[in-house]
A and B are shown apart, each in its own frame.
Chain A
């Protein structure tokens, strides 16, 4: 493809996305549906801007799914994954098993052979990871019961693809198995895996070796490597390294015949505990988003409207049958696993479609001569339509069904007991873990609040992590990193970066994109404080104020003052100084001429000291018997 053609294509895809996604979002339909509509519009049955190459684009864009699973892995620490083993194996296993049998039963009933029926059943049991996770994440439903369960099922399905690929060739009609395993169009790659040429024992060894390489390498090699790269301070090289990692693992997995999505997911899980997690998320996220968008466009473009228009009835019946059958199985399972009614509906409607793996598996099955195109083509169309229906079904479930069901939460329990755990949900971010941020962070941790800490000094991050603190590497002024660190859900952010310029930059970014965040900002001195107050920051902390006052109190004590009196005086000084600071911050602008800093400082000192002498309420008169003596003694 030469450059001009490429740019033309890119232009078509990008404009389709840029036009349709905001419109779909605006209509409350979600971005996935927007992409699909864009795909239909520019596809062979719309404006005919893209034709057959749509299939190639889809293969390329499937890499977005790989990246998505890498990102999901990053969010999922090994401990959490382990806790999910029940739902993954139980819920996922049962979903795939029961759905396979149910669909196979229908296929048998319409007169297919048991081989064809079983193959179709397996292939259609899968749901669309890309469609479901993207839609759920966009609706903010990933953390719900339904979201977690859907994720578990999808993860099991991704794993289940591997044995399916092994099983399908065995289902080839007897005497027609010549293609056995040869044309292994596996996963997202589509070329012959090198391991297939090895004897079985070596094949097993190679697979295990590859998995071990990902786990061990991720654990012990990637972190020093990232640290080395981070130290160069070149952002684009870090991004390049992140992409290299994902692509490298995808290639490795394809070589040994495993799903690349599964491999990168594993790498993500291994790196979930690392300090580079948020930086990696920030770097890979935009690529994932674009590729997934491209993927959805390709799905939209691949819907074969000619076939559908030739036999609309039978395709519609297949889509309806597929969706309803899956819904029934999913609802049943959700009830068995004791999900609430609202969660059951969400879970079932989310997963009631065919998946992108079906495209791969159908072509694999035809290559293995299990069935011909006359079976596969309408099914592929049905899967594509069911995928396109998913966002619509979820909108239906959310807007129409759920309001009728209502949440069956227990009725207003007498509000009581702020449980000590409740602080743990209060998310806080600390940007900059130097001498200032780290004291704040330690105090929070000592009180059971686990802040998300960001710091861009890779050596310091390294040391702190060795001490067992959860610190992430990254430049906190970057918007994508703030997103990755959970700034949307966080309640407050402590801004304590190295320089005031960085602090101001971060304050600006945060106020613009996360106006809900309470900002607590470190200031070097009073003039920094002015600038921050000008920016509208309420909580400004001059770094040396309290230490200097502590030294002042000690000085007074050495001069013979009682410690209590000296301390109260320092307290008063502090209150006064804070008030004056705010007054002067405003006054500063009234005086048109710039005053030099020294004069301001002197004026302030005079003001404070004089107030101390003349204002009677400034003394602790309640402890002072002077007036009482005058009154009574007379």
Chain B
């Protein structure tokens, strides 16, 4: 496991979108689902994978390096477990330090304009728990509102989350299915095989049937709509 961001594959091959995945999991060695999700995407060519807890075990985030990474990608995926309806602590620290005034937001802060922001997260509770009548009372999408507004203030487009629900009692086979779906999703985003704007009104990206089973359905409208 490396503590530097890694990009697989041939740098010369051009992809429609440059994807950056920031993984935040303080105890990956104990994780079942996030580790499999990670394994499904980290070797994808043209995708930069960055394991934050591996890079900054002392929370000493190197702001310049993180900003350079953001600047050189089009889509930022935050992969993490849902901790207290939010991100793990290091990812909050990352927001506080990296999304600087004058760089990410504010009058001169335009570095992130037009980029995409998306969460890929795991939650112990089933989806039925995340609704008005459930014990979590809010949908995951609703709980992510502070993050959505953060993206908004930075001029970024917020995509609905890809959520793996009910991780506690999941069988290895089910985990593999989710991991495969995640890989297809990231590939589609990278290759421009999905029109990102069309996803924005979904509750969860998982709801888009096309991603897992018919990835090429939206292939015709290609790269058209992703704001740049």
Chain A contacts to B: CB under 8 angstroms:
414-418, 568, 571-572, 575, 617, 620-623, 625, 627-628, 631
User: What are 26 A-to-B residue pairs whose CB atoms are below 8 Å?
Assistant: A414-B172, A415-B39, A416-B32, A416-B36, A416-B175, A418-B29, A568-B60, A571-B60, A575-B60, A575-B62, A620-B63, A620-B97, A621-B100, A621-B101, A621-B102, A622-B63, A622-B97, A622-B98, A622-B100, A622-B101, A623-B96, A623-B97, A625-B101, A628-B106, A631-B102, A631-B107
Closest 6 pairs (CB-CB, A-B): A622-B97, A571-B60, A628-B101, A617-B64, A631-B106, A627-B102
Q: Indicate if B58 sits at the interface (CB-CB under 8 A).
A: yes
B100: chain A residues at CB < 8 Å are: 621-622
In the assembled complex, B221 has its CB within 8 A of some CB on chain A: no
Known: A416-B175, A620-B63, A627-B102. 4 other contacts (CB 8 A): A416-B36, A575-B60, A622-B101, A631-B101
* Complex CA distance for A417 and B170, rounded to whole angstroms: 14
Residues of A contacting B106 in the complex (Cβ-Cβ under 8 angstroms): 627-628, 631
Q: Is B21 an interface residue (CB 8 A)?
A: no
Contact partners of B97 in chain A: CB under 8 A: 620, 622-623
The A-contacting residues of B in range 63-85, CB under 8 angstroms, are 63-64
Known: A627-B106, A628-B101. A617 touches B36 (CB 8 A): no
B residues 173-206 in Cβ contact with A at 8 Å: 173, 175-176
- For A575, list chain B residues within 8 Å (CB): 60, 62
Interface string of B49-65 (1 = CB under 8 A from A): 00000000010101110
Q: At the interface, yes or no: B99 with Cβ under 8 Å from chain A?
A: yes
**Nearest-CB residue, chain A, relative to B176:** A414
* Cβ-neighbour of B96 out of A418, A622, A627, A628 (below 8 A): A622
Task: Give the nearest-CB partner of B107 in chain A.
Answer: A631
CB-CB nearest in chain B for A417: B32
Alpha-carbon distance between A590 and B228 when the two chains are bound, in angstroms: 46
B44 to chain A, nearest CB (A): 17
A621-B63, A622-B96, A623-B96 given; A571·B101 CB < 8 A: no
Complex CA–CA separation, A622 to B63 (angstroms):
9
Tell me the minimal C-beta distance from B226 to chain A in angstroms.
Answer: 28
Q: How far is the CA of A571 from the CA of B97 in the complex (A)?
A: 15
A619, closest chain B residue (CB):
B63
Inter-chain contacts of B39 with A (CB < 8 A): 415
Report Cα–Cα, A572/B58, bound state, in Å.
11
> In whole angstroms, what is the CA distance A415 to B172 when docked?
9
Q: Which residue of A lies closest to B96 (CB)?
A: A622
Contacts of A622 in B (CB 8 A): 63, 96-101
- Residues of chain B within 8 A (CB-CB) of A416 are 32, 35-36, 172, 175
Q: How far is the CA of A376 from the CA of B164 in the complex (A)?
A: 77
Q: A416-B172, A418-B29 given as contacts; is B102 within 8 A of A617 (CB)? A: no
Q: Within the complex, what minimum Cβ distance (angstroms) separates A238 from chain B?
A: 42
Cα A631 to Cα B176 with chains together (Å):
49
B168 to chain A, nearest CB (A): 15
User: In the complex, which of the residues A418, A620, A627 contacts B101, with contact meaning CB atoms closer than 8 Å?
Assistant: A627
Residues of A within 8 A of B173 (CB): 414
Known: A415-B39, A623-B96. A571 touches B58 (CB 8 A): yes
Instruction: List chain B residues, Cβ under 8 A from A418.
Output: 29, 35
Residues of the A chain whose Cβ atoms lie less than 8 Å from the Cβ of B172: 414, 416
Complex Cα distance, B33 from A414, in Å, reads 13
Give Cα distance in the complex from A310 to B107, angstroms: 104
Give chain A residues whose Cβ lies under 8 Å from the Cβ of B98: 622
Closest to A631 in B: B106
- Chain B: minimal CB distance from A314 (Å): 62
Please name all residues of chain B whose beta carbon is closer than 8 Å to the beta carbon of A631 when the two chains form the complex: 101-102, 106-107
By beta carbon, the residue of chain A nearest B36 is A416
Closest beta carbon of chain A to B70's beta carbon, Å: 13
A418 CA / B36 CA spacing, docked (Å):
11
Residues on A with C-beta less than 8 A from B60 are 568, 571-572, 575
CA distance A417 to B35 in the complex (A): 9
Between B29, B35, B36, B60, the greatest number of chain A beta carbons within 10 A of the residue's beta carbon is seen for B60
| Chain A positions within 8 Å of B36 at CB level | 416
Cα distance A617–B35 in the bound complex, in angstroms:
33
Q: Does B63 lie within 8 Å of A617, measured CB to CB? A: yes
Most A CB contacts (10 A, CB to CB) among B36, B101, B175 go to: B101
| CB-CB nearest in chain B for A415 | B39
**Distance from A153 Cβ to chain B, minimum over Cβ atoms (Å):** 40
The chain B residue sitting closest to A571, CB to CB, is B60
> How far in angstroms is the closest Cβ of chain A from B148?
20
Residues of A contacting B102 in the complex (Cβ-Cβ under 8 angstroms): 621, 627, 631
Minimal beta-carbon separation of B47 from chain A (angstroms) = 20
B7-51 to A contact mask, C-beta < 8 Å, 1/0: 000000000000000000000010010011001000000000000
